[in-house]
Structure 1
């Protein structure tokens, strides 16, 4: 069985290259999300020879005040990857002072010049409806909601658009998380660790544990591993076809 991890912060581990090599040795596909265009640029060359690890161009909303989005650099780096993440909006406390700037940044990141041949890994905490409205407005084709925690009514709207969800073990271990996963159609489910920000058995998650985590999902949701990997392959194929249509 082939496994994958659709959202992991490799550069937040103590030895990122060592971790990437672990993904390679276990033959686990990994989407290495970044938090700034500057970090993507810094690490780009180091990860080009990996077969299973792919680098995503990101801009985390939590960094909005500290690091204004460099539009020119984002534009330059976007041509070097098929993946954009982690990006989005965070209004989890319902009173973000920079909410408008976050929305402007996300509108820029999802504009049509990028979104036709990119796959997005999206942070949407506390701003799920605003995120969805911008995705629809910009006609984004391939969006994956990372660690969704929002309303079921918004989830249903996301499902109508056939956007996907990457779920992790923290969700599996909470009643709210399980309820959300149950509401997602199987054909829209993907797997993530969000490592190192999730733990399993009181340890930061590493690639060796991923088959165990998939088994935990299989125990709760029939054929999760097989279905999620089929969804993953289908998502990549759709992106490839859209890229060819664009040219």
Structure 2
């Protein structure tokens, strides 16, 4: 493996199987995040035999007011994957009215009975402090903040707890995103496309464009490709060690 994409919504592409096959053919590790447990269940059969595409069980916080969180289904399915995402809290305009429910759901999803041996892909828009508080409270050991856009002071708290960040091309296009990029330590860095929602030069982001996008991050990070892969491998080793520790 030479590249990774740690947060991509494959089922939102016009031809999801074609995209998944591109990841496989090019040996690019992809974390296929889902927005509901029902969608994880739906896709788990179609994508179970992929080597490089890994399916994560998720519940997107922006859907809280529209789709009730099926806790029983999550509980039944979460044991079949090592990855949980996209999950988190979103308190941006239009989502604040479900704040209490979101906090309760995220606390449930990250509780100790689920988080051991799991890696989380976290949504935290305008709720970074609430997210980090719950992660620490529930003793979550491995979490990756997807497209972090919060305060530098909270970012420092995330760093102090050794949680990671997945960065994407969209972050390079704003001053705030560039400021965040400048604050992320090399050893906590991963890459994501967040495809198909983040486009590259007005194109639909596909696995074939990932090498070119990687090259653009060399301005912010020396040896970006090597650094990301090193961090990714270390994260997987830590997950395996954690899983082993809790299986005894």
TM range (shorter): over 0.9
Contact 1:36 1:58 in 2 (8 A): yes
Q: CA–CA distance in 1 between the matches of 2:224 and 2:100?
A: 38
For residues 198-209 of structure 1, the aligned pairs below 5 Å read: 198-209=198-209
Q: CA–CA distance in 2 between the matches of 1:177 and 1:223?
A: 20
Q: How far has the Cα of 1:64 moved from its partner?
A: 0.5
1:102 corresponds in structure 2 to 102
Deviation sequence 1:151-204 (CA, Å, 0-9, x none): 000000100000000000011222211110111110001000000000111011
Deviation sequence 1:16-68 (CA, Å, 0-9, x none): 11110010111100000000000000110111111100000000001101111
Q: How far has the Cα of 1:100 moved from its partner?
A: 0.5
Contact 1:94 1:126 in 2 (8 A): no
1:111 corresponds in structure 2 to 111
1:240 corresponds in structure 2 to 240
Q: CA–CA distance in 2 between the matches of 1:17 and 1:102?
A: 31
Detail structure 1 runs of 4+ shifted over 3 Å in the superposition.
none
Please say which of residues 120-129 and 220-229 is displaced more in the overlay. Answer: 220-229
Q: 1:64 and 2:64 equivalent?
A: yes
Q: What's the secondary structure of 1:126's corresponding residue?
A: coil
For residues 217-236 of structure 1, the aligned pairs below 5 Å read: 217-236=217-236
Please say which of residues 6-15 and 85-94 is displaced more in the overlay. Answer: 85-94
Contact 2:168 2:192 in 1 (8 A): yes
- CA RMSD in angstroms comes to 1.0
Q: How far has the Cα of 1:219 moved from its partner?
A: 3.2
Q: CA–CA distance in 2 between the matches of 1:43 and 1:87?
A: 17
Q: CA–CA distance in 1 between the matches of 2:10 and 2:155?
A: 28
1:124 corresponds in structure 2 to 124
Structure-2-length-normalised TM-score: 0.98
Q: CA–CA distance in 2 between the matches of 1:133 and 1:54?
A: 28
Contact 2:62 2:95 in 1 (8 A): no
Structure-1-length-normalised TM-score: 0.98
Q: What's the secondary structure of 1:150's corresponding residue?
A: coil
Contact 2:182 2:220 in 1 (8 A): no
Q: How far has the Cα of 1:205 moved from its partner?
A: 0.3
Q: CA–CA distance in 2 between the matches of 1:94 and 1:145?
A: 21
Contact 2:186 2:221 in 1 (8 A): no
For residues 4-83 of structure 1, the aligned pairs below 5 Å read: 4-83=4-83
Q: CA–CA distance in 2 between the matches of 1:61 and 1:203?
A: 27
Q: CA–CA distance in 2 between the matches of 1:238 and 1:245?
A: 10
Q: How far has the Cα of 1:234 moved from its partner?
A: 0.6
Give the number of equivalent residue pairs.
247
Deviation sequence 1:61-99 (CA, Å, 0-9, x none): 011011111111000110100000000000022871110
Can you give the 5+ residue segments of structure 2 that lack an aligned partner in the other structure?
none
Please say which of residues 231-240 and 85-94 is displaced more in the overlay. Answer: 85-94
